[in-house]
Amino acid sequence: MTSVRRARMNETGWDKDLVVESSDETLAQPTGNQVLVEVEACAVCYRDCIDRAGRFKFIQIPITPGHEAVGRVAAIGPDVEDWAVGDRVGTLHRDFCGKCGPCMQGNQSLCETAAALLGLLIDGGYASHLLAPERCFYALPEAIPATEAAGLHCTFGTSYRGLRRFGGVESGQHVVVTGANGGVGSAAIQVAARLGATVTAVVRDAAHGDYITGLGADNVIVDAGDRFHKQLTAGPADVVMDCVGPPTFNASLRSLRAGGRMIVVGNVIEEQASVNLGYIVTRGLQIIGSSGATREDMMAVLDLHAKRPFAIQIDRELDLAEADHAQRLVQAGGLRGRIVLVSH
């Protein structure tokens, strides 16, 4: 008998709280390619709030939220190839088939056939235990504390994939990061600096200035989101990582040099962005959407972290019992780093 806890979202929206259930049931054992992971911690992401708001119409309700979990493999199904009991793992956003076009091109995070999306289509990590296909996980070293490791994929992994794989960022380039105080933004500053770029960070609130500079930003611009392109002291950007969305979209575009690349990772409000297509056409700009990372990206991130640890900001740790409160704090915004739910 194992004590089992999990948070449940029984309907989308904010009217009803998440419910945390606990029981002494016998745990469901993994079948096929599933692994059972004993969860150490799960970070709360802004995407969890988007999920909760019902913006993904395909969400399976009721569901256990959470796609930023880390833990240890407690049991494996008969067809599992990649893991053994006791291995330490972190979650990707979903599994992958390894055979489709995107998978063959190294874009496993865009797999066309596997679709075990954590927190949307299968139960996620706001729980003491997580049962998921083996390819939902990447290998995590023992040395990284669970609370720091939990958000690593969704923040540093997303940043690395966006900046390096899609942005082609290399030493000597100029990178602009919007929403720079947020989870992905604060990671993107550090990743871009490690790649040798000059980094301009854009924030709305001057209070974040010292924090952002401490993470390695060369310049900080305080701006509501629509005029920062006129304040770029390091000149036009080779790559902009836009972690905000519609409020910063056009100023991000106008921050680029001709032929520059904009990596879109943020979509914080429901409104759509409107774009002057002529500006994109005549300046040869590229707009590339990105989310999450692959196992290969995570190996690169962990390698950078091992050489010189990233500053991983934790706003606070909360017990799993406070899952609903944690999501409401993330929805309200203004945090500095992740809120992490701990389950044991």
The total of other beta-carbon atoms located within 10 Å of residue 247's CB is 20
Q: How far apart are CA 297 and CA 156, in angstroms?
A: 9
- Give the x-and-dash track for 104-133 against Zn ion (CB under 5 A): -------x----------------------
Q: Which is nearer to Zn ion, 235 or 333 (CB)?
A: 333
Q: Which of residues 35-54 bind Zn ion (CB under 5 A)?
A: 45, 47
What is the residue whose two structure tokens read 């469901």?
28
**What is the number of the residue whose Cβ is closest to Zn ion?**
45
- The neighbouring-strand residues paired with 262 are 240, 287
300 binds Zn ion (CB under 5 A): no
CA 59, CA 119: separation in Å to the nearest integer? Answer: 8
Query: Could you say which residues in the range 81-100 bind Zn ion, by CB under 5 A?
Result: 96-97, 100
Burial group, residue 109, by CB count within 10 angstroms (0-12, 13-18, 19+)? buried
Smallest separation (angstroms) from Zn ion to the CB of 264: 16
Which residue, 108 or 128, is less far from Zn ion as judged by CB?
A: 108
Q: Which residues lie closer than 8 Å to 332 by C-beta, 6 or more apart?
A: none
CA–CA distance from 220 to each of 73, 190, 210, 214, 215 (Å)? 42, 14, 9, 11, 11
Residue 18 Cβ vs Zn ion, minimum distance, rounded to whole Å: 17
What is the distance between the terminal CA atoms of the chain, rounded to a whole angstrom? 15
Closest C-alpha among 334, 13, 19, 342 to residue 179: 334
Cite the DSSP H helix spans in 18-129.
46-52, 101-104
Cβ of residue 203: shortest distance to Zn ion, in angstroms? 20
Closest approach of Cβ 187 to Zn ion, in Å?
Answer: 11
Min dist. Cβ of residue 111 to Zn ion (A): 3
The interface mask with Zn ion, positions 127-166, x = CB under 5 A, is ---------------------------x------------
Three-state SS at 262: strand
Please identify, using beta-carbon distances, which residue of 40 and 238 lies nearer to Zn ion: 40
- Distance in Å, CB of 223 to Zn ion, minimum: 25
Binding pattern for the stretch 256-295 against Zn ion, x by CB under 5 A and - elsewhere: ----------------------------------------
Q: Which is nearer to Zn ion, 30 or 183 (CB)?
A: 183
Residues forming contacts to Zn ion in the complex (CB under 5 A) are 45, 47, 96-97, 100, 103, 111, 154
